[in-house]
Amino acid sequence: MNGKPLQSVKVFAPASVANVGCGFDVLAFAINGPGDVVEISRKEIPGVVIESITGDNGKLPLIPIENTAGRAVLALIDELEHSPDFGMKIRIEKRMPLGSGLGSSAASAAGAAVAANAILGNPFSRKELLQFALEGELAASGSPHGDNISASLLGGFVLVRSHQPLDVIELNVPKELVVTVLHPHIEMKTKNTRLILRRSVQLSKAVTQWGNVGGLIAGLYREDYDLIGRSLHDEIVEPARAILIPGFDEMKETAMKTGALGFSISGAGSSVFALSRSIETAENIGEALGKVMDTYNLAFDIHISEINTQGCHILEQTEVST
């Protein structure tokens, strides 16, 4: 137990960009915003309840086991040697849209795991929390994909080398990397965007893909921005999903012309992202992408961010009054 016991903890859990072009189901990075806020407070009677969820238009379940945040907390408590003699109530503020491809459910699960851990006096390390957050994600996606979870929880640029057993590698983050995210207001469900993927891929395309994954990771360590850009190609998933995103090809062309290192779909979409080397370029890209969206008469949000290397962080905490 570190320090005094806490009565309540409020955690910010950042959005994240998964897949990152070539790294379907294995690569992701966190951004500074948007993100969810998860607050957990002690209650007298043991057990977990979800007190409130805002910003979800009533779409998310309040039953803990069916909710990503609730299920993460339950999984964490399950792993304790001794059950706590108090309960936890969870308040979730969804500050990013559902189904936007920015790891919304993952952020809630990661934030809940970090908040519950803090309330309990941090019995688990950040990396140990991954398994609980992942268990939470199961409630939303039906299958565990650790990419968004790992990025939101740990921050930075992560590689999920393996899911069974879970093996998450925190990669080097080149200092100049900036991301432009554009979220067109269309909701996509990860479950559905998975269904449109073919179950098998050509060996030759798979080889191209793992060459690019290798190139991207080497580029991150060498801080070789050109190599990062050359590696940001996805021949397998992007072609299947891009057709669901209005103006995708036009946005990609525009981003590349405006100085992007690379451009692809964020997670399963509908958000798209571009990497570049400066805030100024990232803003120019955002502006240019916005103009493309305008021609489609689609509402959208734009987020400009460096890679968030902090992950989930505590916004506020109150100690138990004695």
Q: Which of 9, 134, 159, 307 binds its own copies (CB under 8 A)?
A: 159
The nearer residue to its own copies, 221 or 296, going by C-beta atoms, is 221
Is 223 an interacting residue with respect to its own copies (CB under 8 A)? Answer: no
Is 217 an interacting residue with respect to its own copies (CB under 8 A)? Answer: yes
In whole angstroms, how close is the CB of 84 to its own copies at the nearest point? 34
Structure tokens at 211: 């060459």
The nearer residue to its own copies, 5 or 144, going by C-beta atoms, is 144
The nearer residue to its own copies, 62 or 171, going by C-beta atoms, is 171
In whole angstroms, how close is the CB of 169 to its own copies at the nearest point? 5
Is 195 an interacting residue with respect to its own copies (CB under 8 A)? Answer: no
Q: How far apart are CA 64 and CA 78, in angstroms?
A: 14
Q: How far apart are CA 18 and CA 261, in angstroms?
A: 17
Is 169 an interacting residue with respect to its own copies (CB under 8 A)? Answer: yes
Q: Which of 62, 138, 166, 171 binds its own copies (CB under 8 A)?
A: 171
Q: Which are the catalytic amino acids?
A: 137, 190
165 Cβ neighbours under 8 A, 6+ residues apart: none
Count of beta carbons in the 10 Å neighbourhood of residue 39: 21
Q: At what angle do helices 126-141 and 146-154 cross, to 10 degrees?
A: 140
The nearer residue to its own copies, 229 or 269, going by C-beta atoms, is 229
Is 206 an interacting residue with respect to its own copies (CB under 8 A)? Answer: yes
Q: What DSSP assignment string belongs to 101-145?
A: SS-HHHHHHHHHHHHHHHHTT--S-HHHHHHHHHHHHHHHHSS--
157 Cβ neighbours under 8 A, 6+ residues apart: 20, 27, 28, 29, 151, 170, 171, 172, 173, 220, 307
Structure tokens at 66: 């069916």
Q: Residues 19-48 vs its own copies: string with x where CB under 8 A?
A: ---xxxxxx---------------------
Where do contacts with its own copies occur on this chain (CB under 8 A)?
22-27, 159-162, 167, 169, 171-172, 197-204, 206-218, 221, 227, 230-231, 236
